[in-house]
Amino acid sequence: MKAWLAPAKLNLFLQVVGQRQDGYHLLQTVFQFIDFYDELEFACRNDGRVCQARALPGISEDQDLAIVAARVLQQYTDCRQGVDIGITKRIPTGAGLGGGSSNAATTLLALNELWQLNLDREELAEISHRLGADVPVFVHGYNAWAEGIGEQLTPITLTQAHFVVVIPPIHVSTAEIFANPKLTRDAKPIKIRDFLAGTGGNGLQNITCQLYPQVQQALDWLGNYGDAQMSGSGAAVFMAAESARQAAQIVERCPSHWHAIYARGLTKHPHR
């Protein structure tokens, strides 16, 4: 059975520049895909049921975004086929690496083919808005500058960087971070050219570090080797290394109570 890859992402830059009346936050961010993957397998079934092929620890079927995505697609297209979805999980939840969103997007892409729905990518992206703010970028399949609530995407060309990613063994609640009254919600917007010229940072980082000291500890340690910052709302932190060799050396030195990986930046999604 074919394995469908679902890549992780890094937020190379992230600021909250406003908040809508409905509570959604307005962002500016840059999404970078990396070669760190969950793997999904799909076995179609004829009874219309959508099920986990095997349980995911701590994630029920109703919480599994791959299952939710399949059901949304099924309803949208009035498809009578079902599917068993098996996930080999490598991207930790609550790490700010987009694992659940990526799984949802890969599910839409895979089932569009396996169920022979023949939807184009724009229509799949429109469906993906129902599943979360980070899902559309994985459906479109290119590194992107994002604005709005994450749905306004502009392709961006990024250098093929070598990243060290350090993941403390904690689950950060994105909702908790965005609900914090101390969060800066009026950062000054910048242009893509400002980011490419070196403007960066993560506007969620200070709040996350206050609430989750392990994230600050990981930043402090990784900061000994370069410019370290947090991805998304955490808990993962990362830095761009000068070479694959340097990245591998830093990973080898990482304290054993954290999980560290070397990952290369991707120019596009593997199913683009």
Among residues 2, 9, 47, 220, the one annotated as catalytic is 9
Phi/psi at 142 (nearest 5 deg)? -135, 150
Amino acid letter, residue 29: T
The counts of H helices and E strands in the chain are: 9, 11
d(CA 152, CA 137): 9
Among residues 134, 186, 191, 227, the one annotated as catalytic is 134
CB 256 within 8 A of CB 269: no
d(CA 23, CA 14): 18
Note the helical H segments in the chain: 65-77, 99-114, 121-128, 135-140, 174-179, 192-196, 205-211, 213-222, 244-253
d(CA 211, CA 220): 16
62 is catalytic: no
d(CA 77, CA 236): 36
9 is catalytic: yes
Tell which residue, 265, 266, 166, 169, has the closest CA to residue 225: 166
The first and second tokens of residue 259, run together, are: 């999980």
Q: What is the SS3 assignment for 103?
A: helix
d(CA 261, CA 21): 40
Q: Catalytic site residues? A: 9, 134
